[in-house]
Structures are given as C-alpha cells and as structure tokens.
Chains A and B, each alone.
Chain A
Amino acid sequence: MSVLPQREPPLPASPTAPRFESWAHLVFRRFIHHRIAVVAALVLLVIMLAAILAPWVSPYQLGQPDLSAMLAPPSLHHPMGTDDLGIDLFTEVLFGGRVSLTIGVFSALVAVLVGGAIGSVSGYYGGIVDALLMRVTDVGLSVPLLFVVLLLSLLIGPTPVSIITIIGLTSWMYPARIVRSQFLTLKKRDFVEAARAVGMRSARIIVREIFPNAMAPLIVNATLLVGQAIILESVMSFLGAGLTPPNISWGYLLNQAQSFTTSAPWLAIFPGLMIFLVVLAVNLVGDGLRDALDPTSIRRTR
C-alpha cells in the first residue's frame, strides 16, 4: 500500500488578483468559524491596543517611584500592586507589553523571513546549493544560542531594536529546516511540474506555487517563535544582558520579581500571566490560521 500522501494543490495554482481576493475572503471566512481562534484574536487585539495606548491609559507615569508604597499588594489604587520602588505594576505591565510584543512579533518575522528564504532556495534547488546552505544552517544550529545572544548583546548593547535583530538572526534555523523539508516534498508534485512545463521562472515557482503550500507548518513555527522571542529576551535579563529601564519588558519584570517571590508574589504573577496569555493567544490564532489556510481541514462540529 502506498504511503504517499496524495494531496492536490489546495489553492489556485497562480492566484491572480480577483482570485486572491476570494482566497483571502475564504481564509477569513474559515477563520471566523474557528471560535476559539477568534476569541484568542480578540484577546490579542485588546492586549495590543492596551500596549499601544499605554501612555494614555496607564494610571501613573512610568518609573514614578513612591517609597511610601513599596511592594503594596493589589488594591483599587494599584490594580496589580506595586514593585520594590512603589512603582505601579499595572503601568509597568502596560509599557512592558509594548516592548515585549514588539520584540516577539518582529523577531519572529525576521526569523521566518530569513529562514523561509534560505529553506526555500535550499529545498528547491537541492544539490550543492542545498548542501552549502544546510551546512551554514548546521553551523547556526551548533553555535550555542545563549552564548551568541549574550555576546551580541554585550557588543551592540541591549536596545529593543538590537534584541530583535539578535533574536531574529539566531532563530531562523528551524524555519529554514521546516521550509526546506516541505520543499523537498512539494517540488515533486504535479502542480510544480506543471508550472515548470509552462516555463514559469524558478523564483516565481518558489514564491507563488510552493511557498503558499509550505506555509502551514511555518505558521505554527512562527507563532511558537513569537513566544520564544519574548522568553529569550527575559533569559537575557536573567543572564545580565537584557533591557534596562525605561525600556522595561515583561521578561524584565519577571526577572526582577524573582527576588520577591514569597514576599510579593503579584510581581511574578501579572507579568507571567501576560506572557502566558499572549503566547497562548498567538498560538491559538496560529492554529486557526493554519486550519483556515489548509482546505483539507474539515471542521468538526461537536
């Protein structure tokens, strides 16, 4: 019995403008039906809005200490309590969200773009190109991540932009490998052969034909990467090479909270909860997108 997964190309082979519109519409419609994903998307939207509007919605000024209210538990005045300097934690969490979300989303984007490009070229062309690019990927994978991250952060300084660059450029190896393995399988499919037969250029085949079909696992990985980047940034704080105020992030807050786990647990709970919520929501949205992009998925209704 053949174990070859026989899958027809799911989407129009060469989406032209109107067809693309209807495709997007279709994806959107499928996504909307994914109730949990919609809820997650809404949660994400609210958190993002709150972060963007932080300067206007936060009850206090960022970094304004109140030494008479140090380590105050959550109350009406301070909905998430205060930190060891009496700074309102809610304000810090709002501002921290800006930094953490930016780092998470953009690092993942950089990683997926770089990894996607390398993986596509490697998988599509094969041969010497593949061997070379994959050895470069091997080098990337074999260099201990924390060491590189620490070194780069010390060399170029921990600003949000440098951290996005560092994390993005040290996380592209997984996406590259995933996309490559998709390409290895997909490039032998009929629709690719067909595209080649009509004389389509390689670049166009890669971008238009194969890549959309290789998207699903990449999206799952990208959503994981968003979370990973947010966490990696906090580990940098732990190792002493993270962001410094006023560029506080959720990871920074979590790292600070370590010293007060038994005396002021709220310092650890709220930033931790936010990271958890965002990671969960991003990934649920990712699942929803993945299903929406993949027409073979059949919605099961309970």
Chain B
Amino acid sequence: MGVFIVRRLAQAVPVIFLISLLLFFMMHAMPGGPLAMYVHQPGITKAMLEQIRIDYGLNHGVWTQYVDWLDKAVRGDFGYSYVYAQPAVTMMLARLPATLELMLSSFLITVVFSFLLGVYSAVRQYSLGDYAITVVSYFGFSMPTFWLGLMVLILFSVQLHWFPAGGISTAGAAFSLGDRLWHLVLPMLVLAFYTLASESRYVRSSMLDVIRQDYIRTARAKGLSERRVIWRHALRNALLPVVTVMVMDAAYLFGGALITETIFSWPGMGRLFIQAILQSDYPVLMAIVSFLSVVIVLANILADVLYGLLDPRIQYS
C-alpha cells in the first residue's frame, strides 16, 4: 500500500504539471484578456496599453511566459493580481477559509443525508417514502444552483425573514459564532441539495446491488437483526463504489460553490475564481487552478486508497 501511495504521488507530479500547462495556454487563448479593463479608460493611448502589457509581462511569447510562471510558481511565487495588485496567493488564502467552511459543511450534510436517504430508499424500494425521496432529490438535482439559490433567498430571506440575504456575517457587526452559522445555513443547504440528489441515488443503487446478494440473505437467515445486516454487512459493501463518487464530488462541489458564492455574496475562492475569469486576472486564475488541481489529484489518490482499504480484492502491487 505504501509503495502504491508513493507511486501515485509520483505520478501526480506530471499530472499537475500537465494541468497547469493546459490551463495556461487555454487562459491565453481566451478572448478578452487583461487589457480589456483598460480599453475604456479615459484618455488611454496605445503607448499606455503597451506599457501595461510590458508591466504584466504579456509582451513575451506564451511559452516564455509559461516557463517564467512555472519557474516562479515552484518557488511559491504566483505573482501579483492584475486587478488588486496584491500577491495572488495572499488573495487566494484570504478567501480559502470561507470556501472551506461552505464546502466542508455542505459535504458533511451531503454524506450524512445521502446515506440515510439512500439506504432508506434501497431498503424500502418502491415504497411511498422511496418515491418521495426520489422526487425531492430530483427536484434539488434539476434546479440550477443560480435559480434555486435565488428562490431560497426570496423565500427565506425576503418573504419569511428567517435568514440573511447572503454574506458571511452581519455587516459591521462583531464576530459571533451564531451569526456565522446563521449566515451559513442557506448557502450550505443549496450547495448540498444539488449533490445530495446524485449521491443518494448512488447509495441507493449500490445498496440495491448488495442487498440482493446471497451473503445478505445468508446473514438474514442466520437470524442477525435487520439493522445489523443493513448497516454492518450491506452498507460496508455498498460503500465501495460510492466512496469514489463522493470523493470526486468534493471537487464537483467547488463547481457548485462558484455559483452559490455568487448568489449568496459569500466571500470565498469560488467567486474570486469567476471574477478572475471574467477579468482575465491571470495570476489569480493560475494560483487558484494550481491549488485546485493539487487538491483534486490528492482527493483522487485518497479515493483509490480508500477503495483499496474497503475492497480487499484489489491489490496494489
């Protein structure tokens, strides 16, 4: 296992390198570009634009720029944001806690509920409860986050005044845990709702596969309590395919977080990322993308390791 992990980590290096290369070139292929912000500035001249291009280092070929970027990046220097004139890494790290808060809480909720609902649905297949869960979870799944988020805002914040209309804490108020949690509820649920649907479906279908197996029947026949059969024997085996999906979904959650953070004015990395795309803020874009790809690659390795731990048939030689 140790060898496997080391080998996977070694393989991860070229993967991350490849991703950065791919994205660097894609980013430069994107129309718009960092100078677009300056084009409508009063009194702007071609000479001034050229000066800005030089300041940003955009006057070199893309390959040169990439090598230059890589050279600095491996030493932890991701450059200065074009828009904020602050170190890109500093900016990213400043917004990381908010994103982690949102993603981890959503992930937790998703995992807990998708297991509860998925197992219920599987054990009580075709029951009224199963159908109710199916309908509700597909509702969450079929509503785009931007739309669902807005509806939730209007219902719970504008109409019912139960929750704030976005933000991470009350404007101008001192820090309080209650206030933070209170702001967290809506974005967390909206973000969780989307992944919940697909994950509870995976749990359901995986459980269905397992509980039809002979050994479950055997376990039942042996007079083990149903609870024990389901939670100990069946679930453990059903976990296998689900774990992969869930760990990968953590990455997917970031995609959902982009939109959720925008709708709920959540000061996280996702929003910074969208902004960096729309403003062609290359240094920030590359810092976030590099960070994400490292996280995702590690998550995938973790998924494989978990897979191995749960399924003794798979050997890592």
User: How far is B106's CA from A96's CA once the two chains are assembled, in angstroms?
Assistant: 32
Which residue of chain B lies nearest to A149 when distances are taken between CB atoms in the complex? B255
- Asked whether any CB of chain A lies closer than 8 Å to the CB of B97, the reply is no
Which residue of chain B lies nearest to A180 when distances are taken between CB atoms in the complex? B244
User: How far is B140's CA from A279's CA once the two chains are assembled, in angstroms?
Assistant: 10
Judging by beta carbons under 8 Å apart, are B297 and A138 in contact?
yes
Which residue of chain A lies nearest to B289 when distances are taken between CB atoms in the complex? A144
A226 to chain B minimum Cβ distance, whole angstroms, is 10
Judging by beta carbons under 8 Å apart, are A279 and B142 in contact?
yes
Judging by beta carbons under 8 Å apart, are A177 and B144 in contact?
no
Say yes or no: A297-B212 contact (C-beta < 8 A), given A3-B237, A144-B292, A272-B147.
yes
* Binding site secondary structure of chain A: helix
- Which candidate, B61-69, B71-79, B197-205, is the interface stretch facing chain A? B197-205
Judging by beta carbons under 8 Å apart, are B212 and A298 in contact?
yes
- Which candidate, A21-29, A49-57, A58-66, A150-158, is the interface stretch facing chain B? A150-158
User: How far is B22's CA from A3's CA once the two chains are assembled, in angstroms?
Assistant: 43
Say yes or no: A217-B237 contact (C-beta < 8 A), given A139-B22, A284-B134.
no
- Which candidate, A110-118, A159-167, A231-239, is the interface stretch facing chain B? A231-239
With a cutoff of 8 Å between Cβ atoms, the chain A residues found around residue B248 in the complex are 141, 174, 177
- Asked whether any CB of chain A lies closer than 8 Å to the CB of B56, the reply is no
With a cutoff of 8 Å between Cβ atoms, the chain A residues found around residue B127 in the complex are 302
- Which candidate, A81-89, A197-205, A254-262, is the interface stretch facing chain B? A254-262
Judging by beta carbons under 8 Å apart, are A135 and B15 in contact?
yes
Interface size on A, residues (CB 8 A): 65
CB < 8 Å neighbour of B259 from A224, A235, A251: A235
**8 A Cβ contacts from B231-275 to A:** 233, 236-237, 241, 244-245, 248, 251-252, 254-255, 258-259, 273-274
- Asked whether any CB of chain A lies closer than 8 Å to the CB of B40, the reply is no
Task: Mark each residue of chain B from 1 to 25: 1 if its CB lies under 8 Å from any CB of chain A, else 0.
Answer: 0000000000110111011001100
Task: Mark each residue of chain B from 113 to 133: 1 if its CB lies under 8 Å from any CB of chain A, else 0.
Answer: 000000000000111000100
User: How far is B158's CA from A32's CA once the two chains are assembled, in angstroms?
Assistant: 46
User: How far is B297's CA from A284's CA once the two chains are assembled, in angstroms?
Assistant: 33
User: How far is B277's CA from A231's CA once the two chains are assembled, in angstroms?
Assistant: 21
Say yes or no: A141-B255 contact (C-beta < 8 A), given A185-B313, A254-B144, A279-B138.
no
Task: Mark each residue of chain A from 258 to 295: 1 if its CB lies under 8 Å from any CB of chain B, else 0.
Answer: 10011000001000100110111001100100100000
Say yes or no: A235-B144 contact (C-beta < 8 A), given A5-B213, A36-B131.
yes
Judging by beta carbons under 8 Å apart, are B313 and A155 in contact?
no
Most chain A Cβ neighbours within 10 Å, of B139, B145, B209: B209
- Chain B interface bracket (under 10, 10 to 19, 20 to 34, 35 or more): 35 or more
Say yes or no: A138-B15 contact (C-beta < 8 A), given A143-B23, A254-B147, A261-B154.
yes
User: How far is B213's CA from A3's CA once the two chains are assembled, in angstroms?
Assistant: 10
**8 A Cβ contacts from B141-195 to A:** 141-147, 150-151, 154, 158
- Asked whether any CB of chain B lies closer than 8 Å to the CB of A178, the reply is yes
A174 to chain B minimum Cβ distance, whole angstroms, is 7
Judging by beta carbons under 8 Å apart, are B241 and A142 in contact?
no
Judging by beta carbons under 8 Å apart, are A142 and B141 in contact?
no
- Asked whether any CB of chain B lies closer than 8 Å to the CB of A7, the reply is yes
User: How far is B14's CA from A138's CA once the two chains are assembled, in angstroms?
Assistant: 11
**8 A Cβ contacts from A115-140 to B:** 131, 135, 138-139
With a cutoff of 8 Å between Cβ atoms, the chain A residues found around residue B236 in the complex are 3
Judging by beta carbons under 8 Å apart, are A142 and B297 in contact?
yes
User: How far is B27's CA from A227's CA once the two chains are assembled, in angstroms?
Assistant: 28
User: How far is B151's CA from A298's CA once the two chains are assembled, in angstroms?
Assistant: 41
- Asked whether any CB of chain A lies closer than 8 Å to the CB of B208, the reply is yes
With a cutoff of 8 Å between Cβ atoms, the chain B residues found around residue A280 in the complex are 134-135, 138-139, 142
User: How far is B22's CA from A290's CA once the two chains are assembled, in angstroms?
Assistant: 38
Judging by beta carbons under 8 Å apart, are A275 and B22 in contact?
no
- Asked whether any CB of chain A lies closer than 8 Å to the CB of B38, the reply is no
CB < 8 Å neighbour of B296 from A1, A141, A251, A262: A141
Judging by beta carbons under 8 Å apart, are A135 and B144 in contact?
no
With a cutoff of 8 Å between Cβ atoms, the chain A residues found around residue B30 in the complex are 151, 154-155
- Asked whether any CB of chain A lies closer than 8 Å to the CB of B223, the reply is no
Judging by beta carbons under 8 Å apart, are A142 and B212 in contact?
no
B144 to chain A minimum Cβ distance, whole angstroms, is 5
- Asked whether any CB of chain A lies closer than 8 Å to the CB of B44, the reply is no
Which residue of chain A lies nearest to B258 when distances are taken between CB atoms in the complex? A146
- Asked whether any CB of chain A lies closer than 8 Å to the CB of B105, the reply is no
With a cutoff of 8 Å between Cβ atoms, the chain B residues found around residue A142 in the complex are 15-16, 19, 251, 292-293, 296-297
Return 28 A-B CB contacts under 8 Å, by A number.
A3-B215, A7-B213, A138-B12, A138-B296, A141-B296, A142-B15, A142-B19, A143-B19, A143-B289, A145-B252, A146-B255, A146-B274, A150-B277, A154-B32, A174-B245, A178-B241, A181-B307, A184-B314, A227-B142, A262-B158, A272-B143, A276-B139, A276-B142, A280-B135, A280-B138, A280-B142, A297-B212, A298-B212
Instruction: Spell out A's residues near B (CB within 8 Å).
Output: 1-7, 36, 131, 135, 138-139, 141-148, 150-151, 154-155, 174, 177-178, 181, 184-185, 188, 216-217, 220, 224, 227, 230-231, 234-235, 238-239, 251, 254-255, 257-258, 261-262, 268, 272, 275-276, 278-280, 283-284, 287, 290, 296-298, 300, 302
Nearest 4 pairs between A and B by C-beta?
A: A279-B142, A142-B293, A142-B296, A276-B142
